[in-house]
């Protein structure tokens, strides 16, 4: 009874919403018109990449563009972050769209006419700098969406917040940065958005949008273990405590935790060691060994459980040999958690952007995103945009962070459509809250 009444009320609303999402030829025309600019912005930013927390030129370009569009512009948030506020002509909710701006310490090898020749310093080393993760495309697409949406200002019922974020790849050693720092500096305080959307260019069929509900990218933690023994001559190990032997046992025992102690039917979990350092000479058992690695999880409880087990295992394996183990964890990103209700709500908008067949589901990705910190505060949806060259097998496509990574520019129109469509649809008809 309750259900049938509800569907009677909702049906006309939903029908009109879907119809609106399917049509909008005017909006499509405006987006087509802005695309040559989007592509030239992308190439310019690509040729002038800047490392995390150093996005000075990029931020100035973004701010100048948003100012020209008549938006309220805030700069210098979390070092170089830029926020544009578009207040619509009518009252309504606030929605945020996000692009990340930073490049990577990678020497470009694409041979593109607008390839980067920039060299910079990263953690004390000279390195080539490249937009090897496609954040150049993210910035250009969001600048394009801002231009299209600014044209609709009088008709917009609500406010759109454009977030241009620094340091998604992680700030340099010893610095703060990224989404966490923007939030700490009051990003969501005034105005307070009730939803956020963001995308990432990714190997996949050009223009295809890939999305999944709940955990789409992993939480990323680094861990450090210091095994403390007692230095002694290698000829007489019984006189000391051998931390190298403890390390051997520890690596095995920790690798067995996801395999033997974690419910793998719930969500995947990965533990990988990346560094092992110990010793200086063949006949000296050293005082200590340092290990580092990463943990990737898709479930908050599983993450906590895994970390506790790793700490417990380190302590007890070391103790068994009379050694000590110090265990530390640093969290880089939470799970990129797509709110189920908002993801379901977003499907018609994404289909408007890429066509019914242009939206596909995706498996969880063990990479991580600091977009996850926004999603800890408000519901958000993060999705991928396929940017592989036409007619090339996915196995042959250079992945993100490769010196050969490239973006198929024909795909970018669907990214601008998705960002524009999501913002307009959200303000026109946000998902019902309980």
Residues 112, 56, 190, 97: what is their CA dihedral angle, to the nearest 10 degrees? Answer: 0
Please tell me the distance from the alpha carbon of residue 46 to that of residue 132, in angstroms, as a whole number. 9
Q: Out of 38, 96, 118, 133, point to the residue binding Zn ion (CB under 5 A).
A: 133
Region binding Zn ion by CB under 5 A among candidate stretches 61-69, 129-137, 235-243, 322-330: 129-137
Work out how close the CB of 51 gets to Zn ion at its nearest, in angstroms, rounded to a whole number: 12
For Zn ion, the closer of residues 66 and 133 by Cβ is 133
Work out how close the CB of 106 gets to Zn ion at its nearest, in angstroms, rounded to a whole number: 10
Count helices and strands (H / E) in the chain: 10, 18
For Zn ion, the closer of residues 147 and 168 by Cβ is 168
Region binding Zn ion by CB under 5 A among candidate stretches 127-135, 327-335, 404-412, 413-421: 127-135
144 within 8 A of 38, measured Cβ to Cβ? yes
Query: Which of helix, strand or coil describes residue 260?
Result: helix
Work out how close the CB of 400 gets to Zn ion at its nearest, in angstroms, rounded to a whole number: 5
Region binding Zn ion by CB under 5 A among candidate stretches 53-61, 128-136, 217-225, 376-384: 128-136
Instruction: Read off the DSSP letter of residue 175.
Output: -
Work out how close the CB of 281 gets to Zn ion at its nearest, in angstroms, rounded to a whole number: 39
Report residue 67 as tokens: 């100012």
For Zn ion, the closer of residues 27 and 181 by Cβ is 181
Residue nearest to Zn ion (CB): 133
Query: Which of helix, strand or coil describes residue 386?
Result: strand
The label of the residue with tokens 């490769």 reads 402
Q: How many residues bind Zn ion (CB under 5 A)?
A: 1
Long-range contacts of 140-143 (CB under 8 A, 24+ apart): 140/38, 140/39, 140/41, 140/42, 140/45, 140/412, 141/38, 141/42, 141/99, 141/199, 141/412, 141/415, 141/416, 141/419, 142/97, 142/98, 142/99, 142/419, 143/37, 143/38, 143/41, 143/62, 143/65, 143/66
> C-alpha 345: how far from its chain's center?
21
Contact characters 83-122, Zn ion, x per CB under 5 A: ----------------------------------------
Q: What are phi and psi of 234, to 5 degrees?
A: -65, -15
Alpha helices in 284-380 (DSSP H): 300-320, 340-354, 371-377
For Zn ion, the closer of residues 94 and 130 by Cβ is 130
Work out how close the CB of 174 gets to Zn ion at its nearest, in angstroms, rounded to a whole number: 21
For Zn ion, the closer of residues 178 and 240 by Cβ is 178
Region binding Zn ion by CB under 5 A among candidate stretches 61-69, 126-134, 245-253, 255-263: 126-134
Region binding Zn ion by CB under 5 A among candidate stretches 30-38, 133-141, 227-235, 322-330: 133-141
The Cα angle at residue 433 between residues 429 and 434, in degrees rounded to 5: 150
> Judged by CB under 5 A, does residue 368 bind Zn ion?
no
For Zn ion, the closer of residues 226 and 336 by Cβ is 336
Work out how close the CB of 255 gets to Zn ion at its nearest, in angstroms, rounded to a whole number: 26
For Zn ion, the closer of residues 79 and 200 by Cβ is 200
For Zn ion, the closer of residues 64 and 404 by Cβ is 404
Work out how close the CB of 201 gets to Zn ion at its nearest, in angstroms, rounded to a whole number: 8
79 within 8 A of 53, measured Cβ to Cβ? yes
Report residue 357 as tokens: 């067949």
Rg value, the chain, Cα: 24
Work out how close the CB of 175 gets to Zn ion at its nearest, in angstroms, rounded to a whole number: 18
Cis previous bond, 78, omega within 30: no
For Zn ion, the closer of residues 197 and 426 by Cβ is 197
Residues that bind Zn ion (CB under 5 A): 133
């Amino acid at each position: 009874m309750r259900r049938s009444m509800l569907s009677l009320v909702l049906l006309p609303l939903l029908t009109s919403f879907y119809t609106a999402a399917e049509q909008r030829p005017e909006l499509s025309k405006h987006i087509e018109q802005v695309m040559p600019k989007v592509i030239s912005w992308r190439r310019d930013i690509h040729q002038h990449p800047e490392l995390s927390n150093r996005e000075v030129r990029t931020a100035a370009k973004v701010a100048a563009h948003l100012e020209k569009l008549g938006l309220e512009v805030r700069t210098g948030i979390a070092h170089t972050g830029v926020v544009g506020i578009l207040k619509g002509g009518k009252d309504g909710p606030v929605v945020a769209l996000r692009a990340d701006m930073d490049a990577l310490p990678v020497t470009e090898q694409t041979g593109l006419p607008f390839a980067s020749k920039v060299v910079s310093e990263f953690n004390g080393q000279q390195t080539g700098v490249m937009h090897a993760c496609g954040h150049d495309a993210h910035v250009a697409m969001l600048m394009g969406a801002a231009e299209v949406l600014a044209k609709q200002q009088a008709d917009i019922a609500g406010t759109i917040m454009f977030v241009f974020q620094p340091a998604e790849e992680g700030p340099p050693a010893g610095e703060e940065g990224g989404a966490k720092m923007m939030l700490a500096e009051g990003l969501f305080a005034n105005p307070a958005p009730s939803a956020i959307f963001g995308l990432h260019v990714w190997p996949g069929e050009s223009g295809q949008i890939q999305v999944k509900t709940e955990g789409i990218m992993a939480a990323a933690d680094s861990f450090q273990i210091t095994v403390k023994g007692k230095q002694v001559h290698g000829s007489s190990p019984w006189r000391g405590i051998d931390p190298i032997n403890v390390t051997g046992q520890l690596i095995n025992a920790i690798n067995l935790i996801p395999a033997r102690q974690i419910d793998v039917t719930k969500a995947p979990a990965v533990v990988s060691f990346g560094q092992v350092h110990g010793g200086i000479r063949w006949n000296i058992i050293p005082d200590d060994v340092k290990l580092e690695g990463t943990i990737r999880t898709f479930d908050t409880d599983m993450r906590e459980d895994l970390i506790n087990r790793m700490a417990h295992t380190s302590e007890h394996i070391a103790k068994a040999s009379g050694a000590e183990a110090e265990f530390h964890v640093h969290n880089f990103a939470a799970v990129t958690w797509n709110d189920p209700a908002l993801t379901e709500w977003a499907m018609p908008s994404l289909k408007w952007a890429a066509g019914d067949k242009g939206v596909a589901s995706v498996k969880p990705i063990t990479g991580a995103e600091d977009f996850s910190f926004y999603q800890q505060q408000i519901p958000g949806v993060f999705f991928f945009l396929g940017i592989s060259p036409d007619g090339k097998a996915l196995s042959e496509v250079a992945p993100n962070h490769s010196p050969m990574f490239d973006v198929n520019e024909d795909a970018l129109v669907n990214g601008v459509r998705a960002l524009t469509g999501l913002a307009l649809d959200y303000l026109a008809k946000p998902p019902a809250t309980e």
